[in-house]
Amino acid sequence: MTEEKLKELLSSMTVEEKIGQLVQLTGDFFIDEGIATGPMEWLSINEDQVKCTGSILSTVGAKKLKDLQDRYMAINPHHIPLIFMADVINGYRTVFPIPLGQGCTFNPELVEEMASVAAKESARAGIHVTFSPMVDLVRDARWGRVMESTGEDVYLNARMSSAAVKGYQGSSIGDKDKISACIKHFAAYGAPVAGRDYNQVELSERTLKEEYLPAYKAGVDAGARMVMTSFNTLGKLPCTANEDLMKKTLREEWGFDGVLISDWAAIKELVFHSVAENDEEAAYLGIKAGVDIDMVTNVYINNLKKLIDEGRVPMQWLDDCAYRVLAYKNELGLFENPYKDADEDYDGKVDSEHMAFARKAAPESFVLLKNEGMLPIPTKATNDCGSVAFIGPYMNETNICGSWTIFNNNDDNITLEQALKERNPEISYVIEPGCKTLAAGQHFVGFQSKFDNPLTEAEQESMMEKAVKAASEADRVVMAIGEFNQMTGEGASRTEITIPEHQLELFRRVAMVNDNIIVVNFSGRPLDIREINKKAKAILQVWYPGTVAGYAVMDVLFGDAAPSGRLSMSFPYNVGQVPVYYSELHTGRYAEDPENRFTSKYMDAPNDPLFVFGYGLDYTDYEYSNLRISSNTISENSPIKVSVDVKNVGWRDGKEVVQLYIQDMVGSVARPLRQLKAFDKVDIKAGETKTIDFTITTDMLKFYDVNMNYVAEPGEFKVYVGRDSKASLCESFRL
């Protein structure tokens, strides 16, 4: 449809019809016979209002959505198609590692390909828009939604944000097998006070602009056509009502001309935030801030008409929002093809090519935290390794995809036990779960459904005894343990970020009878694993790996694939350190002298996390040498080339993540100890030396100075290159 036709359509619509385009409902409102009365009563809206709805949330299935679209367009006064939106976070039917694990790949091209696969499967299921990627910067592991972010670093998050958007959208959201991305949650949702979900956020303007906004902007610059507001307050003003943030920053400064949607009921929650006296005032604040779509409330649909009639809301505000929604539908191609890519023959089927790709991709997200000669496990074909006991609840757990994989079919998921038995390795092995992911008798209400462990204490004890006996008779033990998958995600903040106590008890009892323990750790956040680190000889962090978890984990354990992930978020020494991250400020009393009491340090713990950002081992090893820079001075027109030689000194080929950090030695405001500014994931064969080149430009040196100008200040800088954020090879240059 041409722009002229779109404007004609808008001008032909009544006020009520325009408001309807700004309303998102769930599929519960639409039934085979027409419109459901129950949901209408629940939301206090009428049938005529439902007929004008603009979009539907969380209903999927090609056949179902085609039928729904037909029935809706038949009753809509202008036969305007619906947009179908859903939370496809780390995959639709083929589920990939959680986003935090994807951040650990340090491979934007891989992340883009994973998003592209998710887009195809979602589009064939009738979905037009995914509420992904979540690009919130995260530094507090207590917050459950860290699993949806790609981590703690500004630069890495921005790279992954851009990659995901390109993967979902391709060159156009109207293209075959592409869907629209939705950047969320705007803004700074990842920094809630005390790590408690939905809590207030307190950031300086400088910190907000330098550290928290870049990933959102990267997504917008990559072409994201939708942005979602966040639940939190920022400077005590709810973001959903923050006109300066939404209009000045997002639309005017960044040039975003797409659709702005609230998070679930976020406009209505302005009342609970105590910035709106009632729903009418909330509707006024929401549309004044330029929020185009109200997600699943009656605030817009029952209040905007009155506000317009009274002159409080100019008709232009409504027209602007409604036009953006109509233009969005047009960009998706829905006026010409309201079904877009919905395909009943494809939808719901397992795509073998996608599964094979997921199996190849997952090991790049695994982070080998420790390995004292235990991995990979040798077989009789290479070396007689003796017997192995595979113990832990994640040996036969099917919930291995993360808490937000709401369209995944658990029956498709490959457990570790299934993969091990299919592999039938040339070793003597036994499998004893030892316990379930939840403790005996534990009741857990998760985000999606209710979970219970029906075991009695006696039954759990019997399971543990069998596992401990198996461990005592084995030469080495693989323990697959970790958080229950509903312990992370939305609404899953925790003050104790450890592996569940009954699983730790299993670990302790196994450690008493066998020293050769390999821990395979499943979690949606960095955990306090001090106890495990002391007693285990190898630790493989696998997050929630997705549909083919079993295959991918076994591939790594037996050496068919190597873990090449590096931490995208620091693992704290204990929960008392959080938020903990590598790019902190020096402070006036940096803890360099351990004997000096009056420095910035803890009395009962180190300052450094247990495992730092960027850290990760491989099945081979690397030697860095000969760091060199092309010049000791840099200017706007004369960038610096940085080169380093990296040699694979191990016995097998590997993938190394070469990381470059910069430290600004003196600034008009305090500067971080160092910041990641570039990285390169490279294949290096055993015995091979590769020269890795980076280019430093003055744009990489910019920050918000004392006057809030975004500049690169003259002075001395240090560049560090190495394997993680503690990289020691260093050179200096001046601007």
- Catalytic residue ranges: 263
Strand partners, 387: 428
CB-CB contact of 540 with 521 (8 Å): yes
Collapse the DSSP code of 391 into the 3-class scheme (helix H, G, I; strand E, B; otherwise coil) and give the result: strand
Tell me the C-alpha distance between 651 and 254, whole Å.
Answer: 49
CB-CB contact of 350 with 522 (8 Å): no
Q: Exposure string (b/e) for 296-329, b if CB count within 10 Å is 16 or more? A: bbbbbbbbbbebbeeebbeeebbbebbbbbbbbb
Q: In the structure encoding, which two tokens stand for residue 194, read together?
A: 């005390």
Give the 3-state DSSP-derived string for 416-484, with helices as H, strands as E and coil as C. HHHHHHHHCCCCEEEEECCCCCCCCCCEEECCCCEEECCCCHHHHHHHHHHHHHHHHCCCEEEEEEECC
Assign residue 512 a region: left if phi > 0, alpha if psi is -120 to 50, beta otherwise? Answer: alpha
CB-CB contact of 486 with 447 (8 Å): yes
CB-CB contact of 286 with 259 (8 Å): no
Tell me the C-alpha distance between 577 and 609, whole Å.
Answer: 8
Measure the CA dihedral 351/352/355/357, to 10°. -110
Instruction: Give residues with Cβ within 8 angstroms of 489, minimum separation 6.
Output: 144, 145, 147, 148, 402, 403, 404, 447, 524
The CA angle 20-122-408, to the nearest 5 degrees, is 110
Tell me the C-alpha distance between 113 and 98, whole Å.
Answer: 14
Place of tokens 């935290």: 369
Give the 3-state DSSP-derived string for 492-505, with helices as H, strands as E and coil as C. CCCCCCCCCHHHHH
Instruction: Give residues with Cβ within 8 angstroms of 78, minimum separation 6.
Output: 9, 12, 13, 17
Query: CA 625 → CA 35, 646, 680, 684, 717, distances in Å?
Result: 69, 7, 16, 15, 20
Helix ranges, 310-375 (H):
315-331, 352-361
Tell me the C-alpha distance between 545 and 565, whole Å.
Answer: 12
Tell me the C-alpha distance between 571 and 314, whole Å.
Answer: 51
Q: What are phi and psi of 520, to 5 degrees?
A: -105, 110
R_g of the chain computed on alpha carbons: 27
Closest CA to 151 of 137, 131, 165: 137
Tell me the C-alpha distance between 578 and 584, whole Å.
Answer: 12
Tell me the C-alpha distance between 26 and 39, whole Å.
Answer: 9
Q: What are phi and psi of 295, to 5 degrees?
A: -85, 110
